[in-house]
Chains A and B, each alone.
Chain A
Amino acid sequence: MVSADAVWEALAEIPDPEIPTISLVDLGVIKDVAVDENSVRIEFTPTFLGCPALEVMRDAMAEKVRELGAEPEVRVVLDDSWSTDKITPTGREKLRASGFAPPAPRSVGAPTLVQIDTSAFRCPYCGSTKTRLENIFGPTPCRSLRYCDDCRQPFEQFKTI
C-alpha cells in the first residue's frame, strides 16, 4: 500500500502548467490526500474557475498516482477554500525568482483600487517598491500587470484571491 507521504512527494514533482517553476504543492491547490487500500483520493481546489490548466493538472495528478501503482480519484472542490494565502513560503520565493511578484495577503475586507494601486509591491527584478498598477488584469486570470519606476521593467503580480 502506498503512503500518503509518498503521494505528496510525487505531487510535489508536478509543475504548474502556466508557471512551471512552482509545483502544485507549492501553489497550495492540493487540499487533501487520503489513502484507502489501493486507492488514493485527492481533493484539489482550482485557483481560478476559468483556469484552462485545470484538466492538465487533474490528469497529471492522476498519472502520478498510477505511477505509484495505485488507483486515483481526483475530486475538484469548487468552494472558497483555496486562497493565495495557501501558496507556501517556498512557492512565494520561487515566484519572485522567476519574475512574478507574490500576492499580498488576503485582507479582511474586499480589495480596493487604492489599496492595489498604492501597496508596496516589490519589483521582482530590482527590489524597489516604487511600482505602480498598469492593469488589474493580465495574461492569465491569476495575474495583474505592474510597472517598476526604478528599473523601468513591467512585471506580473499574482492577484490576491
Chain B
Amino acid sequence: MNAQELLSIADDELILGWRDSEWTGIAPSLEEDVAFSSIAQNEIGHARALYELAAAALGTTADELAFDRDPSDYRSSQLVEQRRMDWAHTIARHYLYETADEIRLAALKESDDAAVAGLAAKMDREEQYHRLHARMWAERLKDEPRFKEALEELWPYALGVLAPEQRAALAERVGLPETQAVERDGHSDELGELWEEMTMVRRSIPGATW
C-alpha cells in the first residue's frame, strides 16, 4: 500500500478526532461529552499508528506528518473538515463516516501488506464501538426532519471518503442514491483554520522537544 493512501486515512482520523473533541465540555449531555471525547481519543490514536507506518516508508516521523505539512498537502476528506455543527449534523457525520470507515477497514484487512492488515484489524475492533454508538443515535433520530436533512446535505461529502469502487456499498448500507461525490482533492477554508490552531504550539518553538 502506498504512503499517500495511508496518509488519506490518517488525515481523516486526525482531523475528525479534532472535530469530535470540539464537543468536550459542551455536549448536550454528560454521557455524550464522555462518548465524543473518548471517540476523539481513539481516532487520534489511529491517526498516530497510521502516520507511523507512513513515516517509516517516507523516512520521516509521525509528528512531522501530522503537524509540519502545509494545509494544502493534507489529504483529508471534506466530510471531516467541517467545524462542529449542530447535533443533527454531528450525528449524521458520525453515522456516515463510521459506516464508510467500516467498508474501508474491511478492504484494508485484506491488504497483502501484513503491517497494514494487522493495524486495520486492531483499529476495526475499536471502531466497532463507534459504530454501535453511531447506529444507536441514527436509529433514535431517523424520523426527525432535521436529521434527514443533515444526512442528505452531508451525503456527497461522505461518498468522498471512499475510493470510487467502494461507494456503491456505502450507498446500499445508508440507503441513499449514489451521486456526485465531493472528492478529497480540494479543501474547505475550515481546514486552514483548524491547522492554524492545531499546529500553533508546535510552530511556536520549531524543533523543541516537549
Q: Which residues of A contact B (CB under 8 A)?
A: 48-52, 77-83, 110-113, 116, 134-141, 145, 159, 161
The reply on B87 being an interface residue by CB < 8 A is: no
- Check A138 against B48 for contact (C-beta < 8 Å): no
- Check B41 against A50 for contact (C-beta < 8 Å): yes
Known: A50-B46, A112-B132. A134 touches B31 (CB 8 A): yes
- Check A80 against B132 for contact (C-beta < 8 Å): no
- Check A141 against B35 for contact (C-beta < 8 Å): no
23 contacts between A and B (CB under 8 A): A49-B45, A49-B49, A49-B122, A50-B44, A50-B126, A77-B118, A78-B49, A78-B118, A79-B115, A79-B118, A79-B122, A80-B125, A81-B118, A110-B128, A111-B128, A113-B132, A113-B136, A136-B129, A141-B41, A141-B42, A141-B45, A145-B34, A161-B126
Chain B residue numbers with a CB within 8 Å of A134 are 31
- Check B119 against A78 for contact (C-beta < 8 Å): yes
- Check B132 against A51 for contact (C-beta < 8 Å): no
Q: Which residues of B contact A (CB under 8 A)?
A: 31, 34-35, 37-39, 41-46, 48-49, 52, 115, 118-119, 121-123, 125-126, 128-129, 132-133, 135-136
Nearest-Cβ distance from residue A154 to partner chain B, whole angstroms = 11
- Check B48 against A135 for contact (C-beta < 8 Å): no
Chain B residue numbers with a CB within 8 Å of A137 are 34-35, 37-39, 129, 133
Nearest-Cβ distance from residue B204 to partner chain A, whole angstroms = 22
- Check A80 against B122 for contact (C-beta < 8 Å): yes
- Check A49 against B34 for contact (C-beta < 8 Å): no
Chain B residue numbers with a CB within 8 Å of A110 are 128
- Check A135 against B49 for contact (C-beta < 8 Å): no
Residue from the list B31, B34, B45, B118 in contact with A50, Cβ < 8 A: B45
Chain A residue numbers with a CB within 8 Å of B39 are 137
- Check B126 against A48 for contact (C-beta < 8 Å): yes
